[in-house]
């Protein structure tokens, strides 16, 4: 190791480890720092974005303000592999430690993963996407990681490596040269699954079809559209929906938390999601905010709702571009966004719960209020939901104004009872190798969905009568599979398919 030479003629070369993140894709990066004689300067190479190039200023101040010397020589930083795009502030600490090591101010050869941003005073700041970076490093055999205090509990969710949380660059150096080792963070316990609805289905009167559709949606991961006049309880039904979703498994919690980590939504008090995500973005949001962006890569609402539910109230009010962009994630369970040569892929396996009024004024078909729309306006309003988008919404129900008779009726079934049936259907899906029937690939669908002759004849009849498009064909069988699972029936019976067809009706 080259010693720091006051004359400025000695040359030093050092490496440290960092982790690059593009979208959700984490890759270990070797940070090479070369301190060479020459005019004082610092260059960062290796497909780095603006935030990384600005690391020069942060690192220089942080090093000086931590009581170290910043070498007044020619410094080159290479982030290898150099052919991969890199973004963000997560390389600061690795570059600073590399500079100290290359200039002889740090002798230790310890080589943990370093993931933190630096403040000008030398303190460590949290970075977005700490969780996927630490998890990726652990999977590649890294046994130690240094992060900021704020990222500590998030990193500790990965329990196969030692997590050291530091406040300042000085503490990191003291740990590395063993003058003041940092005690490892205890592994963060997973904690209770706190999933649940804010509203219990026991408190919702009437609405038998809507309740049934939501049960099927939860059981099979199918998307649902509630159509009805304002004040009929569409929002209430949607808010009760999380309460009938199945238990949040550790694997799902990790997957969903990774997306939230990348979006910078996790914190010291919330290292992993405690409950299935339930996102309800307002209709003023942009397509970018709904499905995510590529440059810089950021997940959108549809990915933040991964393994949970996405509630879009007043569906026709969302920008047309945003609605069209929903088609891919609803079909594939993930979204790839490409722009200006950069591409990022995010998971988006969510259940869409959409609600809409039957017309612009809201009262078309209402028994109690008068609709003020012209017929063409009603048609135009409904046409805002394009055919290809509607095709991906398997369950469509009319939510009527509940009559007093139904309001007086006996108390409705509580959420936990519905959830039990949902769990049963999900167990059947897991036996087929998926979390829900909506994810069944065609080959598996064929294998697990043998239709009786009678059921098959019904399907052919529906096609002959134009009740089913070619895209709808397999989707309706998936829903029928879920309906059969709710009854623990191995075979898809005629009534199962008939109900699935009924829910696919044009409204």
Partner 1 sequence: MILTRADPSYPAHLAQCPDAPEALHVRGAFVRGDEIAVAVVGTRSMTSYGERVACDLARDLALSGVTVVSGLAHGIDETAHRAALDAGGRTIAVLGCGLAAFHGSIARRRLLERIATGGAVVSEYDDDFAGAAWTFPVRNRIIAGLTLATVVVEAGAPSGALITAARALDYDRAVFAVPGSIYGAKSIGCHRLITEGRARLCRRAADVLAEVGAMLPARERPRLPLSPLERAVFEAVFAEARHIDEIARDAARPVEEVSATLTLLELRDLVRGVGDGRFVARVS
> Is residue 227 a contact point for partner 1 (CB under 8 A)?
yes
SS3 per residue for 454-482: HHHHHHHHHHHCCCCCHHHHHHHHHHHHH
- The candidate with the shortest Cα–Cα distance to 438, out of 291, 219, 210, 278, is 219
Hey, is 447 helix, strand or coil?
Answer: helix
Q: Is 58 left (phi over 0), alpha (psi -120 to 50) or beta?
A: alpha
Q: Please, what is the minimum distance in Å from the beta carbon of residue 456 to partner 1? A: 14
Rule CB under 5 A: say whether 373 interacts with Zn ion: yes
Say whether residue 206 binds partner 1 (CB under 8 A): yes
Q: Does 359 bind Zn ion (CB under 5 A)?
A: yes
188 in contact with partner 1 (CB under 8 A): no
Binder of partner 1 out of 11, 125, 212, 456 (CB under 8 A)? 212
| Residue placing its CB nearer to partner 1 in the complex, 196 or 358 | 358
Contact characters 363-382, partner 1, x per CB under 8 A: -xx----xxxxxx-xx----
Contact 213, 224 (CB under 8 A): yes
Interaction between residue 400 and partner 1 (CB under 8 A): yes
Residues 279, 312: Cα–Cα separation, whole Å: 8
- DSSP structural state of residue 244: G
Minimum CB–partner distance for residue 354 and partner 1 (Å): 16
SS3 13: strand
Residue number, 290 or 458, with CB nearest to partner 1: 458
Which parts of 105-144 interact with Zn ion (CB under 5 A)?
A: none
DSSP element (H, E) containing 339: strand 334-339
Nearest 10 degrees: CA dihedral of 137, 142, 147, 153?
80
Does position 364 bind Zn ion by CB under 5 A?
yes
Shortest approach of partner 1 to residue 402 CB, angstroms? 8
Cβ neighbours around 183 below 10 Å, total = 9
| Number of residues lying near Zn ion (CB under 5 A) | 5
Q: What is the dihedral of CA 431, 434, 435, 438, to 10 degrees?
A: -120
Sheet strands side by side (includes 162-166): 41-45, 74-80, 25-36, 12-22, 113-115, 144-148, 162-166
Choice from 207, 223, 350, 357 touching partner 1 (CB under 8 A): 207
Q: How far is CA 483 from the centre of its chain?
A: 27
* Choice from 24, 354, 359, 425 touching partner 1 (CB under 8 A): 359
Q: Please choose, out of 247-255, 337-345, 416-424, 457-465, the segment that lies near partner 1 by the rule CB under 8 A.
A: 457-465
In the complex with partner 1, which residue's Cβ is closer, 291 or 479?
A: 479
Q: Which is nearer to partner 1, 206 or 329 (CB)?
A: 206
Asked if 227 is part of the footprint of Zn ion (rule: CB under 5 A), the reply reads no
Pairwise CA distance, residues 409 & 240, whole Å? 19
| C-alpha span between 175 and 182 (Å, rounded) | 6
User: Does position 397 bind partner 1 by CB under 8 A?
Assistant: yes
Integer Cα distance of 453 and 459 in angstroms:
10
E strands, 201-241, are 224-227
E strand segments, 120-166: 124-125, 144-148, 162-166
Nearer to Zn ion, 275 or 373 (CB): 373
Nearest to 123 by CA among 165, 159, 161: 165
Does 420 help bind partner 1 (rule: CB under 8 A)? Answer: no
Residue 365 interacting partner from partner 1, Zn ion, none (CB closer than 5 to 8 Å by kind): partner 1
- Figure out which of the listed residues 31, 361, 428, 479 binds Zn ion, where binding follows CB under 5 A: 361
Assess 158 for contact with partner 1 (CB under 8 A). Answer: no
Q: Quick one: 370 or 506, whose CB is closer to Zn ion?
A: 370
Q: Say which residue the tokens 């809507």 belong to.
A: 210
User: Is the Cβ of residue 243 or residue 362 nearer to Zn ion in the bound state?
Assistant: 362
**Near Zn ion by CB under 5 A: residue from 77, 354, 371, 477:** 371
Chain residues in the site for Zn ion (CB under 5 A):
359, 361, 364, 371, 373
Q: Which residues bind partner 1 (CB under 8 A)?
A: 206-209, 211-212, 227-228, 358-359, 364-365, 370-375, 377-378, 397-400, 403, 405-406, 409, 458, 461-462, 465, 467, 483, 494-496, 498-499, 501-503, 505-507
């Amino acid at each position: 190791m080259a010693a720091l030479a006051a004359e400025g003629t000695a040359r030093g070369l050092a490496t440290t480890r960092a982790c690059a993140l593009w979208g959700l894709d984490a890759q270990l990066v070797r940070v090479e720092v070369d301190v060479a004689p020459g005019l004082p300067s610092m260059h960062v190479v290796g497909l780095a974005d603006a935030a990384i190039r600005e690391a020069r200023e942060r690192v220089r101040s942080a090093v000086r303000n931590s009581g170290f010397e910043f070498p007044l020589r020619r410094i080159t930083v290479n982030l290898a592999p150099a052919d991969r795009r890199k973004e963000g502030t997560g390389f600061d600490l690795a570059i600073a430690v590399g500079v100290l090591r290359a200039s002889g101010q740090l002798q230790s050869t310890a080589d943990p993963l370093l993931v933190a941003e630096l403040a000008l005073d030398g303190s460590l700041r949290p970075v977005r996407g700490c969780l996927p970076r630490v998890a990726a490093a652990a999977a590649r055999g890294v046994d130690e990681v240094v992060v900021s205090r704020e990222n500590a509990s998030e990193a500790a969710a990965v329990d196969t490596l030692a997590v050291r949380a530091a406040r300042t660059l000085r503490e990191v150096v003291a740990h590395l040269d063993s003058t003041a080792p940092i005690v490892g963070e205890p592994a963060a316990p997973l904690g209770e699954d706190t999933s649940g609805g804010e509203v219990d289905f026991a408190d919702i009167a009437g609405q038998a079809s809507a309740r049934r559709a939501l049960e099927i949606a939860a059981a099979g991961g199918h998307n649902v559209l509630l159509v009805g006049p304002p004040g009929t309880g569409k929002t209430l039904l949607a808010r009760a929906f999380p309460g009938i979703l199945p238990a949040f498994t550790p694997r799902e919690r990790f997957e969903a938390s990774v997306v939230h980590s990348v979006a910078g939504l996790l914190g010291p008090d919330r290292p992993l999601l405690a409950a299935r995500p339930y996102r309800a973005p307002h209709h003023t949001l942009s397509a970018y905010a709904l499905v995510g962006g590529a440059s810089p890569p950021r997940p959108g609402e549809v990915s933040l709702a991964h393994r949970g539910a996405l509630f879009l109230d007043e569906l026709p009010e969302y920008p047309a571009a945003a609605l069209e962009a929903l088609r891919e994630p609803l079909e594939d369970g993930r979204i790839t966004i490409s722009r200006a040569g950069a591409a990022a892929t995010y998971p988006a396996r969510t259940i869409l719960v959409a609600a809409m009024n039957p017309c612009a004024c809201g009262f078309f078909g209402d028994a109690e209020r008068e609709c003020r729309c012209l017929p063409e306006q009603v048609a135009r309003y409904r046409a805002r939901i394009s055919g290809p988008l509607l095709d991906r919404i398997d369950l469509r129900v009319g939510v009527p104004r509940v009559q007093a008779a139904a309001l007086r009726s006996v108390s409705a079934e509580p959420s936990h009872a519905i959830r039990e049936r949902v769990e049963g259907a999900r167990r059947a899906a897991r036996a087929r190798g998926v979390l829900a029937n909506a994810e069944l690939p065609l080959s598996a669908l064929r294998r697990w969905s043998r239709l009786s002759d009678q059921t098959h004849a019904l399907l052919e009849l529906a096609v002959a009568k134009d009740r089913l498009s070619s895209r709808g064909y397999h989707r309706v069988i998936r829903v029928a599979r879920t309906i059969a699972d709710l009854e623990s029936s191995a075979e898809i019976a005629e009534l199962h398919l008939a109900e699935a067809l009924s829910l696919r009706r044009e409204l």
